[in-house]
Each structure stands twice: as structure tokens, then as C-alpha cells.
Amino acid sequence: MCSRLLSFMMILFLVGCAGMNPPEMNLDAKGRYGENRQYLEETIGDNADAPFLSRYFLCNAYVKLKSFGEAFTCIDVLEQRVKADDYKIYWFDYSYAPNLLRAEAYVSLGDYDNAIKEARKAYDIALTHDLSNPDCDLKSLAYLGLAQALSGQVEEARKTADMLRDVYTGYPYGLFEDLKTAGLAKIYVAIGDFQKAYDVAKKGTSDTFTKGIANALMGGENYFVPQELDLLYIQNKSLLKLGRYDEAQVGYESLMELPVLKETGEIYWNILYDVGVIYEHEGRFDEASAKFMEAVDVIEAQRSSIASEANKIGFVGDKQAVYNSLISLLLFEGRDVEAFEYVERAKSRSLVDLLAKRNDFSNKLEVDFDSAQMLRQLKIAEARYIQLDETQTMAQREDQRRGITNLRQSISEKTPELASLVSVTTLTAKEIQDRLGDDEGLLEYYQQGDSLVAFWVTKDGVKGGRLNAEGLEADIGELRRLLADPNDTGYIAQAQKLHDRLIKPLGGLHGKKELTVVAHGPMHYLPFSALYDGSRYLVDKATIRMLPSASVMQFLKDTGETGEMLILGNPDLGDPRFDLPGAETEARMIKDIHPGSTVLLRESASETNMKNAGTHFSVIHIAAHGEFNQENPLQSRLLLTPDKQNDGYLSAGEMYGIRIDADLVTLSACDTGLGKTAAGDDVIGLSRGFLYAGANTLVTTLWPVSDEETAFLMVEFYRNLKTMPKAEALRQAQFALRDRNPHPYYWAAFQLTGAAQ
């Protein structure tokens, strides 16, 4: 445990020397992280040899401000300093700092497994090094317990809270009492024990005598803002959860007046959201929706700094309640168009960001002066936009948002390569409507728990409605179970039940012959074509295409052109049990339809050839085994022939590093259309990987279908493709297969994602 040798006189000496401390230490102690970031970026920049103290406080500023890309890069540099035995701040051992900073960042990102791992590493260092810095075990236990609670490990979290409570913070450690109390209170909030959280936070005043001396010696300023802000926030959060709205409102309004609040990212958006909840409870709906919108803006501004896809998903995950509350309130007020636009923002930003960045920008960009100036203007404009300004009207904030959008557009037009550096704005409702055909309707769903909303969008309007989501996942699972037996007709009642839940409440398809479906949550696993209205399947009424989000349409091209074709079939996996003679037959039959096609079979159907050929063919057909990995969806993969360059496992994760300039990719393999739905509804799997890599349209399967039936459908599909748009070609192929085998098990597994033409 941390050493108890530090004397009260040493504390006073350290505090008394505050005037001689570097500015970064003083700014950090006062919670002025934005100022600290600016100061340190100007002072040390990317200098890896900068003092450890300066590097540490810069990393901490990035973490507190939720600038995660910069944070992890900074922490990596800090860790190198630790490995070089350079990790002291004054006489304090900060060798645990990289692990603790990562733990805090991972908690914010919703990556609780890594947060637990890093917090434990920090605590182990505290134990083994016998550190003379009391906050080492306090912070590591606080983040460990918080991550455990948020990941559902309630009993483990309670045990960690007990350990944290037992950490000694008496004389001469009174200065650290707030730190312990805030950590405990956060764990209790995460567990859901709000009364205990309130009691702890309310009682949690530090050794006021010691803290008073410290503040006096520091010139009268409060150097304990972060801890006190945490405690005040938790008090009011707990009051709100306990239903004591009036008390919570008074407390939150006081907190909103603190300038430092805007620099405390996690607390800032939470308070904006909670104030919106209070306003909604009071019937002040316009004010409530305005607060929810501000909270969303802060979340998305923070989110734009996250580099990896998985972390983007995690960061938004625990914030979906903000979007859900806003969307529900907008629908209640009859503001369907705005509600639809926020649904798009809630569920599509991660993939939209990725699609916008799919060009290879691995080489250093040459940025001219004007473009660099515009980038700086954009950064300033975005920073100003997320700042709370009660004097601004909604119209003024909309002007700001429009200005940001115009800047992004100007940058993209002037220097297209800079698209990877610009946060992408999802399409407006009007822009989505303009991209729909005259005879096309778009059906988009959004689910949060038992709350489900749906939107019917055409060129003429947007109409939203509430549906019942209770038991929806189980109903979809039951339909899939029933469809798995081609000799059982019990699926009919279940298919009609789901049709009545998901299609009928919106008035059906209103006569539209083309349907675009933007699914959500468990609906990604639903064969929409097999939904039944009592007399006809949905596929009988319209062609159906799937999209991960409506905003993806801006990146799709309706070319309708079939150029050079590559066919990979029956890869040699080194084991006769995995041979697919039907896939080889399928490849040869498709070759007969398109004689100019390039066919790669057995040893030639390799991962290396697939990667190398990706930019040379407009149509790519892969007839091979596919594996869906539910636990690690980025490891979902196609099994191709291995060689010296590649292992043959073409995973979804690898797709983010290659380029495929194909108008159509058909994955004639098992379970290729499946993906894991994460919080925020980003679906991670092979389909998404191919979209990111550059595919314009995908044809995939939702469950395994036998070689013979698959080959028949594929041949029909490619024959139809000579004279029909892609979506209609697949539909007619499904009809042909249905004539042979009427059960939906055979034909409903196939779906098209992306451009329909």
C-alpha cells in the first residue's frame, strides 16, 4: 500500500511552494484543462524529451477533455519515459500514470474490459512500488470499481468500493479525502444505489482545515475544483434519480454557472442532459429539447477526436439515452423531421465517418496555406459551437452549425484529400428525400430498450411513429428458428406477427414498389423479404435493399454498369472436409453467363489474389466458406486459400486496410450478412468491412443455404443482372428459387445492401 511516511510538514511545503510550481500543475489542480492543453501544446508540443511532469499534465488534459486520439498518443510517449526510469514528479513516483490515464479513458469509451485491466496494473504498481503518493491506490481502485460496475460486475464493484473506503486518508492525508469520496460515490451511482451515492457525496467534505491552509497558501484560489465538481455533480445526479427534481434543479443551475464546467467533458454533457430531463418533467418541452440538443453537440464534438472505429462505438454507447430522450420528445411535439435527423445522427455517424475516409491517406498530405487556414477556422468554430452560451437563440446556433457545415464542404472541395480530417455531417432529411426515387419509400427504425420508433420517408414527407419493442428480439429469434426447418410451416404465423408489428402500423408501403430498410438492433438479423401480411410476402410487394444508415446514400453510386468480373470459388483449405464442389460448379456456371470473367479456383482462390485484384474488377463474386464471430465480430472472416503472403483468413478487420473498387461484391458463403450490433447500433461484420473497403453494393446471406440452391439463385441473379437493376435482379432470382422450393428457408436468406441500381 502507499507509504505512510509523508509528513504533514511535507504537504505544507509542497503546497506552500505552489507559487513556484509550473503553470501546468496549478492549472490542472484548478480543473482548467482547456487552458492547460493550450499552454502545454505551445510549450512542449511533440517534444518527447519534455519534462515528465509537463507530459503527464498534457496527457491528463487530453483525457479530461475527451480528446482520445491525442490522449493515447501522449500516454504512449509517457510510458516510454517510465520504461526509461524517468517518472518522478518532485519526489513522487508516477510510474503508474500511463496505466491510470488509460483506465480513465477506457471507462469513458465504454471499453470496460481494458479499463479493468489498466486499473489493476496501476494498483499492482501501487502495491509493489510502495509509492509515496496517496492518490495512486485511490484512483486505481476508483476506476477499477467504476469499470466493474458499468460492465455489470456488481458484486466485484462492491468489494472494490470496500477496499477503496478502507484506504487511509486521515492525518496527514486529509487533502485526498475528496478523491476517495468522489470515487466511492461514482461506483455507487454506477451500481444504481443512488441513496448511498448521495449520502457519501453529501458527507464527503475533505479535511477542511488542511484544505483551507492549502488554498490560503495558494493565494486564496480553490485548487480542489475537480474533486468538488465531481461531488457536487453526483449529489445532484442522485437527487434527480431519487425523484427530488426541485433540489436537483437548484443544484444543477448553480453548477451551470461554473466556467470550468465546460472543460470537464463527461460531467458537462451529463448535466446538460439531466437539466433537460428536469425541464421535460416540468412540461417545459421546448427548453428540454434544446438542452438535449446541446448535450448531443458536446458528445459529438468529443467523439470526433476518437481514432478507431471500435472506440467510436463504445464512446457513444453509454450516451444513447440522450439521443433517445431527444428523439422521443421531438416525436411527442410532432417534430418528426427533426426526430428523424437525430435518429440518423444517433446510429450512423461511425460508419458515415469511416466511409468518408476510405481513401488511402497513409502518405503525408501536402496542405496548401488556404486549406490549412480553413482547417484552423473549422477547429475554432467547432470548439465555439459546443460552448454553452445562454444568450444565443436557437436561430443563432443553427447559423453556427450551418457555418461549420459550409467550412467542411469548402475544405472537401478545395482539397478532397482532406476529407479524412473533416468530421462528416449526416444528411438532412431533405437531402435524404432528394436521393429517393419517385417510387421509393425508406423505412428506418430506432430502438432503445422497449422504446421503438419508426419513420416512413418518401420524396413527399417524413412520418414518424411509436411501435412496441417489448420482446422484439425474442420474436425475431423465434422466426429464424422456425425458418431453419424447411419442412415446418409454423413460420407463417410468426412472419405475420412481425409484419403486423413493424410494417402495418405505418400503413404498409403505401403502394411504393421500391423499399429501402434501415434496420436497428436485432432487426439486422431479420429477413424482411419473408415478412407476411396474410396473403403476400413483403418481397412480393417491392424490391428490398438494406442500408446501415440513410446517410450512407451520399457515398453510393447508382452506376448500374457491369464491367470486368472476378470469380473466386472453392478455395483449397488443405482439408478435403472443407472442399466446396458446389461452389466450384457455381463459379463455372457464372463464367458461362459472363464469358469474359476471370475465374480463380482452388489454389488460385487465395486471400493474396483477392487483395491484389480488389481494385481491378467492378464485380467480385466469392463462393467460399464464411465464419461469423459473435464475440469478436471484426474477426468474422472468409476462408480463402493461404499462401506465403497471407494466412487465408480474410477478416472484417482486415477490410479496413484494403481497397476494393467494386460496384458489386457477392459473398456466396454462410452467414456473411451477419454482424454484431453494438451500442449506437453500429453493426460490425463482413458487410460493413466490404462497404468501408469501397464496395458499392453487397449481396450476402443471413444463414447457411445448401450449395445447390445457392448456385441456382446466383446463376439466376447474374443472368438477370444483364437486363435489370441489382435489387430487382436479386428479387427475381428469389422468385425463381421460390418456384423450386417455396419455403423461405431457401430464398429469404439472401439480401442486398447498398446501391440498388
Return the pLDDT at 423: 46
Helices 97-109 and 68-83, axial angle in degrees (round to 10):
160
> Which residue shows C-alpha cell 456466396?
668
For the chain, what is the mean pLDDT?
77
In angstroms and rounded to an integer, the radius of gyration of the C-alpha atoms of the chain is: 28
> Which residue shows C-alpha cell 481514432?
307
CB contact at 8 A, 618 and 561? yes
Residue 112's Cα: distance from chain center in Å?
14
> Can you list the alpha helix ranges (DSSP code H) found in 504-577?
538-541
State what percent of residues in the chain have pLDDT above 90: 22
Residue 296 carries which DSSP code? H
Return the pLDDT at 49: 77
- Could you give the C-alpha distances from 174 to 8, 143, 180, 233, in angstroms and in order? 10, 21, 10, 21
- Could you give the C-alpha distances from 109 to 15, 68, 69, in angstroms and in order? 34, 9, 12
Handedness of CA 183, 189, 192, 196 (dihedral sign): positive
Q: Angle at Cα 392 formed by Cα 428 and Cα 329, nearest 5°?
A: 50
Return the pLDDT at 355: 43
What's the CATH fold of domain 8-242?
1.25.40
> Which residue shows C-alpha cell 446463376?
715
> Which residue shows C-alpha cell 421546448?
286
CA dihedral of 518, 519, 521, 525, whole degrees rounded to 10: -140
From CA 585, how far away is CA 601, in angstroms rounded?
10
Q: Where are the domains of the chain?
A: 8-242, 258-426, 430-554, 556-754
Return the pLDDT at 217: 36
Q: Which three cell numbers stand for residue 509?
A: 408501403
Return the pLDDT at 421: 38
Return the pLDDT at 185: 87
Q: In what order do the strands lie in the sheet with 750-754?
A: 461-468, 451-458, 440-448, 514-518, 543-546, 750-754, 697-701, 664-668, 619-623, 565-571, 598-602
From CA 749, how far away is CA 734, in angstroms rounded?
10
> Which residue shows C-alpha cell 446517410?
551
**368 φ/ψ angles, rounded to the nearest 5 degrees:** -75, 170
Indicate the pTM of the whole model: 0.73
- The 3-state DSSP class for residue 367 equals coil
Residue 293's Cα: distance from chain center in Å?
18
| Cis peptide bond prior to 172, omega within 30° of 0 | yes
From CA 333, how far away is CA 288, in angstroms rounded?
11
**649 φ/ψ angles, rounded to the nearest 5 degrees:** -95, 100
Handedness of CA 37, 42, 48, 51 (dihedral sign): negative
From CA 462, how far away is CA 480, in angstroms rounded?
31
Give DSSP secondary structure letters for 399-432: HHHHHHHHHHHHHHHH-GGGGGGSPPPPPPHHHH
CA nearest neighbour of 624 among 717, 532, 704, 721: 704
Q: According to the CATH classification, is domain 556-754 in 3.40.50.1460?
A: yes
From CA 720, how far away is CA 2, in angstroms rounded?
73
| Helix, strand, coil abundance in the chain, percent, nearest 5 | 60, 10, 30
Element (H, E) at 525: none
Q: Which three cell numbers stand for residue 619?
A: 464485380
Within 10 angstroms of residue 369's Cβ, the number of other Cβ atoms is 7
From CA 425, how far away is CA 403, in angstroms rounded?
12
- Could you give the C-alpha distances from 607 to 324, 534, 547, 579, 603, in angstroms and in order? 42, 45, 27, 16, 10
Give the residue ranges of the chain where pLDDT is below 70.
1-21, 86-92, 129-135, 168-175, 204-227, 259-260, 263-266, 302-318, 348-398, 400-402, 404-425, 558-563, 628-635, 656-657, 669-685, 688
- The 3-state DSSP class for residue 89 equals strand
- The 3-state DSSP class for residue 449 equals coil
